[in-house]
Amino acid sequence: MYLKSLTLKGFKSFASATTLNFEPGITAVVGPNGSGKSNVVDAIAWVLGEQGAKALRGGKMEDVIFAGTASRPPLGRAEVTLTINNADGALPIDYNEVAITRRMFAGGASEYELNGSTCRLLDIQELLSDSGIGREMHVIVGQGQLDAVLSARPEDRRAFIEEAAGVLKHRKRKEKALRKLDAMQANLTRLGDLTSELRRQLKPLGKQAEVARRAVTVQSELREARLRLLADDLVTLQTQVEKETADEQQAKEHRNRIAAELEAATNAEATAQRELSAAAPAMQEAQDTWFALSALAERLRSTLNLAQERARSLTAQGGEVPRSGRDPEDLDAAAEAAEIEQEEKEEAVENARAELAEAVSERSETEAMHKAAERELLAATAAIADRREGLAKLTGQASSVRSRLTAIGEETNRLSLALGDAHARADQADAQFETLQESVGELGEFEVGLDEAHEEAAAASDSAAARVAELTEAGRESRARQAALQARVDALALGLNRRDGSAVLLAQSSRMPGLLGSVATVLTVSAGAEAALASALGAISDAVAVVGVAEAAAALALLRQSQSGRAGLLVGGGPPLVDRLTWPQLPVDATWAIDLVQAPQVVLSALTKALDRVAVTADVASAQKLVEQLPEVRAVSRDGDLLGSDWAVGGSAGKQSVLELQAALDSAAAELADVTAKISSIDAALSGARAEAELRARDAAAALAALGESDAQMSAVGEELGRLAEISRSAAAEAERLVNQRETAEHSRVAQEEVLAELELRLGAAESDETPASIDTSVRDELADAVAVKRQAEMEWRLTLRTAEERARATTGAAEGLRRQAKAERESRVRAEAARIRRAASAAVANKVAFLADQSGQHLSASLDIAHLAREESTAARAAAELRAQSSRSRLMELSSAWEKLTTEVHRDEVLRAQQSVRIEQLVEKITDEFALTVEDLIAEYGPHVPVPASAAEMAEYEAARAAGESVTAPQPMAYEREAQQRNVKRGERDLALLGKVNPLALEEFSALEERHAFLATQLEDLKDTRRDLLTVVGEVDGKILEVFTSAYHDVAREFVTVFATLFPGGEGELVLTNPDDMLTTGIEVHARPPGKKVKRLSLLSGGERSLTAVAILVAIFRARPSPFYIMDEVEAALDETNLNRLVGLLTELRDSSQLIIITHQKFTMESADALYGVSMRGDGITQVISQRIRGRDAEAAVQLQV
């Protein structure tokens, strides 16, 4: 058995299908780091069932799927197929080749296949376990696993030996048996509990059967008693339903009558509401008209004030035009004088310039002659030296000077051009400066007008705002007064509310045409006499006024019919019963009470009767005096003390009378109406004032914006003037700098020309053959003195020219400036005159506006009076309509309340009847469901009219007595008594309660329970037998595991000693059991001592020693219990050449019994291999494989290159 091939599809770096064909022997897989060699080992471990992502060098299991590169997208699944040659039948399956396939999708799902058929992971593990391949995967040694072998726990090292020895299948058999035992134990416990429970239930069932027989008799008597009670309840409910149905019919008839009256009242209320709705638009229109006219009047008043103020302001500013500047004629004369002076200065400049030119010419000629003599002298002096120095040097110096002269000429031309440009910029800036300066005066005059307009607009806006604030404050105070008066009116109205029969009569006033209202409301009492009249009238002041006796009788009948209490009535319409001519003459300080009150004519006679010979005095003393003088007169003080010859009433002040309250209410209501009208006037005026204030505020804002814009223009002009002046100054400075540079260049040019002339003279002298005999310097000295004199003369003329130019420049433009000033002064005077004319015209317009506003205000005042009258009339009409609508609504609410009350009663009766019907239905349903009887049968057999037969107990006693030979009379039926039947029910329920829960099927249940108990007892014995058999199997498996492991351990321990001695010549190594007494669970310790060292602790070994020790353990297991194949991933990476040779020697020994696949970088390992696989990675991150067989064929490459 060996691995025949490995196919990878989408596994890690193997993006495309790649197949590796293996043969028996040693196969080395080589390649650079990161090329994907270890992915081959991961693929074999993965397809054999590895479940740990870390063991596959990943974070999660989905990391095995190709993740994609820059040139190739990721894949959705990974698939690996491992083909095993099973010709020797090592695997317990009837196939010569076994193909194991594992497939994983991106969603995390996995599939396993065995020879193309879907299977489970468990099936693959069981198939491989007999070949020494288990979940420990000791046949696959990956990177870093060597150290894990040493650092593993002793119990984990035991698992490697068990896996190699094939113990896994025995352990699985044991684990399966133990799981069955655990499940069986739960069943045994459950069966034991059920058996015990059944045994406990058998005994009480016998007692329950006896109770069931006793319960039958009690239930029969209880049923009859309940049926008789139900029949009685049913008959009673049916009787009540019949009675309530008749009552409900009467209530419905009464409700129908109220409904008819309600419909009539609804129509009346709708009519009144329509009248009210019709009156509302007229009142609103009159209100809007008055409001609009009031606002317009306010605006006219504000306009009049503003026009008058503006007219006064403009008139105050009128008069002669102020003249602040110089006279334009004087300025023109000064300009002409300045122009003449400028011409004289310029003529002086030209004269000085001509003299300077002549001086320069003379100085130049003298200097030329001096320089020529100097050159001749120098030439003669240097001729001999020049001959020695040679012509070449002189020629070079002359060329150099000529070059410098050319450069100086170019620089002079450039400076001349720049100087012209600077003069042009200065002239342009000066011209723009003069043009812009002319506009400054115009802007200044315009800004003065804007300042005046802004001040006027701001003053008008402030005045309008002050008017708004004044009206707002007045409105606030009036509204506060209105709220206080409204609260007082409400409080007084609340004090006038009646709680006796008078309130009922007043509420029915709309239905009783002859009812005038309360006496307090129909009377008008003089101010200050309220208390006196209230005391004089007494109970009449609380009465209700009616027009006649018939109406009084109808009112009393209404109160009696509605049970609304009692009420006093002042009956009018009668003839005069009192002749005032018979009344005596009163003193001056007394007044008849009837003269202090005003009342409708219809009740005046009755009122006069009530106040017959009643006089009002200032105080009690005056009243006493009056009664003593006129005994037939009753006197009442203004404080309410009534005094007569036969009756007196008074004392300290108590609560206010109805008349006082009504008078206070009328006064407060009148004041409230005045305040409300005042608020309306203030609101109208405030609306106009706000509109005017908004208009004036917009005008002020516009004037301020215009002024700001003018300031911005002035600022911009100032900035532009500054910029132009700076440009002119900078251009002049640049021109002066360029002049200096040009003069410097000119001087340099002259000097270089002199040098060039000297060099040419020297060059000519050097080229001639003549040699001067002697040198004469007198001519040169004379010319030098002449040059000094000429230079002094030139300097003096230059100073003269500079002075003249400065004087001419100082007065340049003075004449033009004076002419511009004269022009500006003339324009300023023209503008001032125009402004004066405009102010005069504006003052005339303002006066005209004031006149028109005054006239319009007078006309508007008349219109406002008319609108106020229309507003009052429409308000009164709407108030009358509101009163009628209120009366109609009151009647409608009264009838609605009565109708709702009757409807509620009818509904309550219907609900009660429905509830009783439901109760009857529930009783019928209960009778039918519980007792299976119809209503007719129930009433016929158990109704209240049916006699009650003797009970079973009475019949039993009778039968017993008769059987005993006693002379007894048979029990007779008795008349129905509800209390007796209720006692029978309670007795039967008590007996049933004493019997407890009754099981009528107790005998049947007892028999079934006995049969079930016998069955469960048999099943329990069977489970106990099965448990004993499973324990026997576990013992046999433990014995087999002990035998196989013991043998494998001793073989591995023996091989470890040999292998360790091979890898460490002179060293000692052994395997030791941690618990030799328990071979089923003992772990394995490793003791290793390399040669030359005394330590045996594995943690003290070097890296290479630890690797060799771990390899020794694995090789010992391989040799003791060989497996068909082994895969090793760079296990020799940390070994030197000597140890590598020893390890390769051991691996070569395994070649004959097992197949080895080694991932390596070591050349010696490659040389010992039978076949090579080269693994590399392309630039796109995908692994490719190349194979080469080394032994058994010629060195001819068979290459597989798959991408």
Q: How far apart are CA 199 and CA 1010, in angstroms?
A: 9
Which residues are within 8 A (CB) of 121 and not within 5 positions of it... i.e. 6 or more apart? 49, 112
Question: Residues in the chain, how many?
Answer: 1203
For position 98, what pLDDT does the model report? 92
Which residue in this structure is represented by tokens 């100073």?
A: 799
Which range in 554-558, 586-590, 693-697, 1027-1031 is most confidently predicted, on average pLDDT?
Answer: 586-590
Q: Which residues contact 150 (CB under 8 A, 6 or more apart)?
A: 1086, 1098, 1106, 1109, 1110, 1113
Secondary structure of residue 427 in the 3-state scheme: helix
Q: Do the annotations mark residue 34 as ligand-binding? A: yes
* Partners of 518 in beta bridges: 544
User: What single-letter amino acid sits at 424?
Assistant: A
Higher-confidence residue of 612 and 114: namely 114
Q: Which residues pair with 9 in a beta bridge?
A: 79
List CB contacts of 59: < 8 A, sequence separation 6 or more: 53
Domain residue ranges of the chain, discontinuous segments joined by +: 1-139+1132-1203, 529-637, 947-995
pLDDT band at residue 911 under the 50/70/90 scheme: confident
For 1061-1079, letters b (16+ CB in 10 Å) and e give: ebbbeebebebebeeeeeb
Nearest CA to 1123 out of 193, 134, 177 is that of 134
Q: Give the pLDDT score at 1201.
A: 33
Residue 70: Cβ-neighbour burial (10 angstroms; 0-12, 13-18, 19+): exposed
Q: How distant, in Å, are the alpha carbons of 284, 730, 857, 870 from that of 289?
A: 8, 74, 16, 9
pLDDT digits (tens, 9 = 90+) for 151-201: 788 888 887 787 777 777 677 777 777 887 787 778 878 878 888 887 777
Structure tokens at 264: 């009539």
C-alpha to C-alpha distance for 53 and 373, rounded to whole angstroms: 112
- Among 147-151, 833-837, 1124-1128, the minimum mean pLDDT is found in 833-837
Q: Cα separation of 1095 and 1101, whole Å?
A: 8
Average pLDDT, the chain: 76
Of 901 and 388, which is predicted with more confidence?
901
Q: For 830-847, what is the mean pLDDT?
A: 70
User: What does the pLDDT read at residue 956?
Assistant: 74
Q: Which of helix, strand or coil describes residue 290?
A: helix
Residue with the bigger pLDDT between 1000 and 447: it is 1000
**Largest Cα span, the chain:** 215
Q: Using CA atoms, how far apart are residues 556 and 562, in angstroms rounded to an integer?
A: 10
What's the pLDDT score for residue 412? 78
Burial of residue 462 (CB within 10 Å: 0-12, 13-18, 19+) is middle
- Ligand-binding annotation for 35, yes or no, is yes
| Mean pLDDT to the nearest integer, 938-944 | 80
pLDDT at 72 over 60: yes
CB-based contact 1127:44 (threshold 8 Å): yes
What does the alpha-carbon distance between residue 999 and residue 209 come to, in Å, rounded to a whole number? 7
- What confidence score (pLDDT) does residue 1203 get? 30
pLDDT at 9 over 80: yes
Helix (H) or strand (E) holding 643: strand 642-643
Most confident of 21-35, 504-518, 554-568, 727-741: 21-35
HSE value, Cβ hemisphere, 13 Å, CA-based, for 773:
0
Known binding residue 37? Answer is yes
Q: Give the residue from 1102, 1159, 1156 showing the smallest Cα distance to 1134.
A: 1102
pLDDT in tens, 999-1058: 777 667 777 777 777 787 788 788 778 888 878 888 888 888 788 888 888 888 888 888
Per-residue pLDDT of 772-808, as tens digits, reads 545 556 776 777 777 777 777 777 777 777 777 666 6
Pick the closest to residue 504 from 554, 567, 432, 552 (CA basis): 567
Confidence of residue 1197 (pLDDT cuts 50, 70, 90): very low
> What is the DSSP secondary structure assignment for residue 595, as one 8-state letter?
G
Contact 1044, 166 (CB under 8 A): yes
- Decide if pLDDT at 682 tops 90: no
Q: Cα-Cα-Cα-Cα dihedral of 1089, 1094, 1099, 1105, to 10°?
A: -40
Q: How far apart are CA 369 and CA 784, in angstroms?
A: 9
In this predicted structure, the answer to whether residue 499 has a pLDDT above a threshold of 60 is no
pTM given for the model = 0.37
Mean pLDDT of 230-246: 80
Look at 832 and 18; give whichever has higher pLDDT: 18
Q: What percent of the chain has pLDDT over 90?
A: 3
Model confidence at 653: pLDDT above 60: no
742: left (phi over 0), alpha (psi -120 to 50) or beta: alpha
Q: What is the pLDDT of residue 723?
A: 76
Cα separation, 744 vs 912, in Å, equals 133
For the cut 60, the answer to whether the pLDDT of residue 432 exceeds it is: yes
Q: Is 498 helix (H, G, I), strand (E, B) or coil?
A: coil
- Class of CATH domain 1-139+1132-1203: alpha beta
Give, for 1071, the enclosing helix (H) or strand (E).
strand 1068-1073
Provide mean pLDDT across the span 920-947. 79
Q: What's the whole-number mean pLDDT along residues 932-939?
A: 79
pLDDT tens for each residue of 971-984: 778 888 888 878 88
DSSP code, position 508: T
Which two structure tokens, joined as six digits, stand for 459? 């003053």
The pLDDT assigned to 1193 comes to: 42
pLDDT tens for each residue of 568-579? 888 887 777 777
Which residues, other chains included, contact 415 with Cβ-Cβ below 8 Å and sequence gap of 6+? 738, 741, 742, 745
The reply to whether 206 sits in an annotated binding site is no
Summarised one tens digit per residue, pLDDT across range 530-541 is 788 777 777 787
Q: Which residues of 359-384 are buried (b: 16+ CB within 10 A; e: fewer)?
A: bbeebeebbebbbbbbbbbbbbebbe
Quick one: pLDDT at residue 945?
A: 82
Long-range contacts, stretch 1061-1065, CB < 8 angstroms, 24+ apart: 1062/1142, 1062/1145, 1062/1146, 1063/1108, 1063/1111, 1063/1112, 1063/1139, 1063/1142, 1063/1143, 1063/1146, 1064/1088, 1064/1090, 1064/1091, 1064/1105, 1064/1108, 1065/1091
Alpha carbon 1053 to chain centroid distance? 74
Yes or no: say if 1187 and 20 are a contact pair by the CB < 8 Å rule. Answer: yes
| 1026-1039 exposure pattern, b = at least 16 Cβ within 10 A, e = fewer | ebeeeeebbeebee
3-state secondary structure 981-1022: HHHHHHHHHHHHHHHCCCCCCHHHHHHHHHHHHHHHHHHHHH
32 is in an annotated binding site: yes
Residue 81 confidence class, pLDDT cut points 50, 70, 90:
very high
pLDDT at 586 over 80: yes
Kindly list the strands in the beta sheet with 117-119, ordered across the sheet, starting from the edge strand earlier in the chain. Answer: 18-21, 2-9, 77-85, 97-105, 110-114, 117-119
- 680-691: average pLDDT: 72
Containing H/E element for 648?
strand 648-649
pLDDT of residue 130: 65
Say if residue 36 carries a ligand binding annotation.
Answer: yes
Question: Residue 580 corresponds to which tokens in the numbers above?
Answer: 């005032």
What pLDDT score does 268 carry?
Answer: 74
Give the confidence band of 113 by pLDDT, cuts at 50, 70, 90.
very high
Confidence of residue 1196 (pLDDT cuts 50, 70, 90): very low
Tell me the DSSP string of 142-199. Answer: -TTHHHHHHHS-HHHHHHHHHHHHT-HHHHHHHHHHHHHHHHHHHHHHHHHHHHHHHH
Q: Identify the residue with better confidence: 864 or 238.
A: 238
Q: Is 72 exposed, middle or buried (0-12, 13-18, 19+ CB in 10 A)?
A: middle
pLDDT in tens, 325-353: 567 777 777 777 777 777 777 777 788 77
